[in-house]
Structures are given as structure tokens and as C-alpha cells.
Amino acid sequence: MRTLPLADELFLIGHDEYSGKPRVSAAALDSGLAGAVLGELLLDGRLTVEDGRVRLRDPRPIGERVSDAALAEVFKQREPWPVRSWVEYLRREVRDMVGRRLVAGGLVRRQRSRGLVRTSVRFPARDPLTAASPRVRLRYLLDHAELVDLPTATLAALVASTRLEHVLAMESSRRVRDVIAELTQDLPAALAALANGVDAAVGAVTLTIRR
């Protein structure tokens, strides 16, 4: 049973539960988390995506700090932005905000370590088994598509867009991507556009790093 917000589940899947380090590049994970926060608002009916642009449907606050902060940013804009632009804008602060939400929920600890050049922040789990549960659940459901609900399908799409397939440890990352593609082919247009926007943002980051 899903009990965590979409971004919290992606956060736990995207971090090693023991070291608290991201399992992909920080920029890629931040892009995925930004998409997941937008996904929470899409699933809740606060936002939609039309012609590739995020549009406000219901400006009423949800009563949760992370979601409401993103909703307020969308509300402030006079013109709708493309999904990718929102992902790239929101990713600057999103990992720390989602991390703090999980800290408040007692699932992870926030650790700061100071190096010679910069200070890094990690989020090791308080209980590794609990932190691993979104990954274990998603891995199981990839083989039981008939049990997958819309939030889980959205999570799977974001896992693929964030390049986290290897974390699911099936036969291969390619096999995971193929299974997720089949599982998510019937996503509503707005959620499919969200996953594509995250994929484009992550792809741009990957190209920049390789250069």
C-alpha cells in the first residue's frame, strides 16, 4: 500500500539507504524530484499539462509545505511554462525540501559533512528496511501490472526518466526500461508529458556532464 507522497518515494529509491548518497548524479535526481513534486500536484488535480505547458487548475493550498511551495510558484506566473522549464527551475531546492519532509516523518536523517571545497548533505535512512520499501514494492509491481495504480505508474515513469532503472536490480537496466515503458504506455497525457519533461531535463544534464 502506498502511504508516502510521490516525491518521497522517488527520494528513497534515489538514495542509498545506508550512506544517504544519491544513486545517480545529483542534478539528475533533483530533476526527477522536481518532476515528482509536480506529479503530486497533477495527481491531486491542482495542475494540468496542456500543449506541453503546466497550467493551474486549482490554486487552493494543500496544506503541505513542499507541494504548496511549488503550487505558489506556478500561481505567480502570468504565462504557463513548459514542463522542462519547471523541472529545471524547481530542482534547485527540491532535494533539500523533500529531504526535510522525510526527516520530519522520521524516515531519514540529515547529515552535513564539510570538505575542503564544499559542504555536502546526505540523507541516510533511520531504518534501512523501511527506506527500501518503495523500491521493493515497485520492483514487485513491475511483474504484476494488474496491481499497478496511477500514482505507481507515474513513479515508474519518473524512475525511468531519472535513469534509476538499475536500482530495481532486475535482469538489466534495459529490461527494466522496457517493462516500465509497457507499464506506462497508457498514462494520461499530462503525466506522460511530465515524464517526458523530466527525461529532457535529465538528458540535458547528462550531456553537460559528459562534455
What is the pLDDT at residue 173?
75
| 106: pLDDT strictly greater than 50 | yes
What is the pLDDT at residue 196?
96
Element (H or E) spanning 75, and its range? helix 65-76
| 206: pLDDT strictly greater than 80 | no
Q: What is 6-210's CATH topology?
A: yeast vps74-n-term truncation variant fold (1.10.3630)
Of all residues in the chain, what percent carry a pLDDT higher than 70?
A: 94
| Strand runs labelled E in the chain | 47-50, 53-56, 111-114, 119-122
Tell which wins on pLDDT, 1 or 97: 97
Report which of 211, 159, 127 is spatially closest to residue 36, judged by C-alpha positions. Answer: 159
Q: Partners of 121 in the beta sheet?
A: 112
Q: Let me know the angle formed at the C-alpha of 98 by 148 and 165, rounded to the nearest 5 degrees.
A: 45
Residue 30 makes CB contacts below 8 A (sequence gap 6+) with 91, 92, 94, 95
**Predicted confidence band at 171 (pLDDT cuts at 50, 70, 90)?**
low
Q: Are 138 and 152 in contact (CB under 8 A)?
A: yes
Q: Which of 45-49, 119-123, 157-161 has the lowest mean pLDDT?
A: 119-123
Q: Partners of 114 in the beta sheet?
A: 119
According to DSSP, residue 167 is labeled G
Distance CA 200, CA 44 (A): 24
**pLDDT tens per residue across span 42-99:** 999 999 999 999 999 999 999 999 999 999 999 999 899 999 999 999 999 999 999 9
Distance CA 131, CA 137 (A): 11
